[in-house]
Amino acid sequence: MLVRVNPGAQLSDAEQEFVECLRSYPSTALAMVDLQVGGRQIDAVVWTPRGLTVLEVRGFRRRQSGILNISGAGPWRISDADADLDEQAGSPSDRLEHGIFAVKSALEKGLLDPGHVCGAVLLVPFRGAVVRPSRTNLRPGLDVVVGNVSDATELRIYLEGFSAGPRKWTADRVIGDCTALGLAGGAPSRQELVDAGFEQVAQESPSVIPRPPKPKVEPKPGPATKRQSYAGWVVAAVAVVGMIAVIGVIANSLAHESSHPAPPTTSVTSPPPSPAPSRTTPCFPFQTDC
């Protein structure tokens, strides 16, 4: 990791511990420490290939260990006592939000896309002291991280994973950000950034290609178990017995009909029809055909 400290900066013990942590990381990143942006003092701005974050570094005035309880209104507490942090104007979360706003505004004034600028309050306890926050998220995009030289895992995880997505911050984009923030004189050269791991050309997001529907795979029956085999044999045996019973009934019916033949049928001759009765035709006087 590349670390650049503002010339003439008077770093506190916590900030010196923080710089020592950063220089021990092999990650691809650039950290600018103790800078002025828009008239506001900012402890550090860190660039990685996936974004940038603003850090507010706070140390302790005495050794404290325990669970850190974060409050939005009142003082932060460690176990049952107030967290004895370095004296600075304003709460750590408020100073962090002001620093993020200053960095984002400066980049937008330089006609640069700031992306999603996040931030974190870095608490640096005394070496050997163990401080664990009850929650690490202040608000969306604002976190609390604890780290020092002897316990720097959380800080390293935060710096390597605070921004998801493609690697959009190239060496040229980092230099452009530093120029917009007024850090061109102390920023590393383009070649130094490339040697540190920053790419020369941003990776483009792969275009979304519709995938063809997956062919339907008909489920294949697995090997039959012994229980299933027995059930199959039982069903086959019952079917055979049923067929034999039906054949027996049909054969019995045929044998019964052949042993008792039906009596012969006699034809009945119907008598001839009787002639229709004759009717006497009445005659009238002088009727010629009567």
DSSP string, 21-90: HHHT--SS-EEEEEEEETTEEEEEEEEETTEEEEEEEEEBSS---EEEE--SSS--EETTEE--BPP-SS
Q: Is 111 left (phi over 0), alpha (psi -120 to 50) or beta?
A: left
d(CA 94, CA 169): 27
What is the arithmetic mean of pLDDT over 110-119?
Answer: 90
Provide the b/e sequence for 132-163 (b: ≥16 CB within 10 Å).
ebeebebeeebbbbbbbeebbebbbebbeebb
H or E element at residue 154: helix 153-161
If one counts every other C-beta atom within 10 angstroms of the C-beta of residue 29, the result is 24
163-175 confidence digits (pLDDT tens): 666 788 999 999 9
Q: Flag whether pLDDT at 32 surpasses 90.
A: yes
Handedness of CA 194, 199, 201, 202 (dihedral sign): negative
Range of weakest confidence among 21-25, 178-182, 270-274 = 270-274
d(CA 253, CA 14): 109
What is the arithmetic mean of pLDDT over 56-83?
Answer: 87
- End-to-end Cα spacing for the chain: 151
Q: Flag whether pLDDT at 106 surpasses 80.
A: yes
**Which of the four pLDDT bands, split at 50, 70 and 90, describes residue 285?**
low
Q: Flag whether pLDDT at 24 surpasses 80.
A: yes
- Predicted local confidence at residue 208, as pLDDT: 44
Tokens 């608000």, located at residue: 139
Range of weakest confidence among 12-26, 139-153, 225-239, 272-286 = 272-286
d(CA 81, CA 92): 18
Higher pLDDT: 278 or 12? It is: 12
Q: Are 140 and 118 in contact (CB under 8 A)?
A: no
Question: What phi and psi, each to the nearest 5 degrees, are found at residue 243?
Answer: -65, -40
What is the arithmetic mean of pLDDT over 241-250?
Answer: 80
Q: Flag whether pLDDT at 127 surpasses 60.
A: yes
DSSP state of 200: S
pTM: 0.67
Q: Which contacts of 133-141 are long-range, i.e. CB under 8 A and separated by 24 or more positions?
A: 133/67, 133/68, 133/70, 134/67, 134/68, 134/69, 134/70, 135/70, 138/70, 138/72, 138/93, 138/96, 139/93, 141/100, 141/116, 141/117
